[in-house]
Amino acid sequence: MRSPDHGLHYELAAVLGEVDALTAMARVHPSARVVPLDVEPLALLPVTAELATEVTPAALCCLGMDRLPGGTELARRCRDEWLTGPESGFHVLTPGVAALVEAGSVISTVAYVEADYLGREGRQAAAVWRAGVLVTGPLLLGRQEAFTAGTAPISVALRALGVAGAGRRDEFVVAGLGRRRHTEDWADGGG
């Protein structure tokens, strides 16, 4: 059970993209679920600790996603070291989830995002894949950096997926990513 945080803590680890791509990706694990966002046809696939631990690149074979465009040794090293290493800004992303995101991006553009905030202090990171290739990122906004909605990694990723801010509402708000405050809440209760 999570300790009460009085609504100050926000954390998210998720794949964002069109429902069709995320539905195909969710077949890799029985606990994976796809939750529609406020902007059609986008959805969110929460990356829980269980999913991050249990999804491996080998698991993609059962989905027919074993022939990654980035299936080279260099792409594997990129997933293992650059995207999931300590310098990436990602704390939850594993090589297996990175391979899954890469494979799912063959269907349509997808983004992997992470955020962890307590009040106004925190971090966020994002990367975007299209046609099996990493096209943006990884982008990182660290704990000591000033937040600007227009250049925040998650906003950049959402714009790559076609989400546009509206007035004072940035892409994060327009997509509805504030509906839940924890990855587990998305996985348990949906949207």
Domain-located, residue 82? yes
- Residue 81 in this model has a pLDDT that exceeds 80: no
Domain count, the chain: 1
- Reference 29, options 72, 71, 67, 58; nearest CA is 58
The domain containing residue 60 runs over which residues? Answer: 9-189
Domain-located, residue 1? no
20 exposure class (CB count in 10 Å sphere: 0-12, 13-18, 19+): middle
Domain-located, residue 3? no
Domain-located, residue 91? yes
Domain-located, residue 83? yes
pLDDT in tens, 5-22: 556 899 999 999 999 999
- Reference 111, options 47, 61, 167, 184; nearest CA is 47
Phi, psi of 65 (to 5 degrees): -105, 20
Residues of the chain with pLDDT > 70, as a percent, come to 81
What's the predicted TM-score (pTM) here? 0.89
Domain-located, residue 4? no
Q: Which of 21-35, 63-77, 173-187 has the lowest mean pLDDT?
A: 63-77
pLDDT in tens, 133-165: 889 989 999 887 777 777 899 999 999 999 998
